[in-house]
Amino acid sequence: MPGLLEGKVALITGGARGMGEAEARLFVAEGARVVIADVLDDEGAALADSLGENALYRHLDVSDEANWAALVTDIEEVYGGLDILVNNAGILRFGGIAETSLEDYLQVVNINQVGCFLGIRSVIAPMQKRGGGAIVNISSVDGMKGSAGLVSYASSKWAVRGITKVAAAELGAIGIRINSVHPGGIQTAMTPSPEDSPLSAAFVSRLPLPRIGQPEDVARTVLFLASDQSAYTTGCEFPVDGGYVNCRKLPGA
């Protein structure tokens, strides 16, 4: 039985580890040829090697316009086109408004927000040549609410949510669908585990689904949105958060 992405070519940014790695593994298992893009060259190359002939690694600074242009040209030369983009690359910096420097703020914005914009813009032409495509933007639950101490991160993730809706409105007529995924507490290098952090343990205990999320939980949602199973879905947001945004439990409940 063919996989959900059989014959598709996918580009995953920030694909060397964490959620991006889980997405790459699942996409290859579902029949896609996957380009893993990151700045973590050793980890990305090792992952591509482990996935075999249907994966390759390319260096990409998502905030660099020339990097994007060169990578998309490379993918078209190697694979003949591009069908799926997952804008997964992102960084997290903690800090209140008063303590955050402009330099630190813009570093997060340039990767999380500008990187997403450049990614969308860069793949329009190659996807249009293929008759359409699917873009999945990884935002965050912090792109749906506000949290103290996350001014740069939340700002950038709200922007990802917004550009998703604008792009969906603009690009649907040429067959390109765009949706956003909003992970909550997912166990990655950026997130302390409940075993290591009392704050994290308290957070998990109040979730309707009281466990830390795994990268595979996000990857399965991304797979659905990248595949033809979601062919009539665009401009939507999908929390993957154990119920955090929509139905948190009160303390003691």
Could you list the active site residues?
153
Going by the DSSP 8-state scheme, the letter that residue 248 receives in this structure is P
Q: 43 with 16: CB under 8 angstroms?
A: yes
Q: 154 with 146: CB under 8 angstroms?
A: yes
Residue type, 88: N
Q: 16 with 47: CB under 8 angstroms?
A: yes
Nearest CA-CA partner of 114 in 222, 13, 235: 13
- Indicate the burial class of 101 (C-beta count within 10 angstroms; 0-12, 13-18, 19 or more): exposed
Judged by DSSP in three states, 109 sits in: helix
Please report where in the chains the tokens 């704050």 appear, as a residue. Answer: 199
Please report where in the chains the tokens 């482990």 appear, as a residue. Answer: 50
* Bridge partner list, 239: 182
For residue 137, how far is the Cα from the chain centroid? 5
Longest Cα–Cα distance of the chain, Å, equals 58
User: Angle 65-79/115-129 helices, nearest 10 degrees?
Assistant: 30
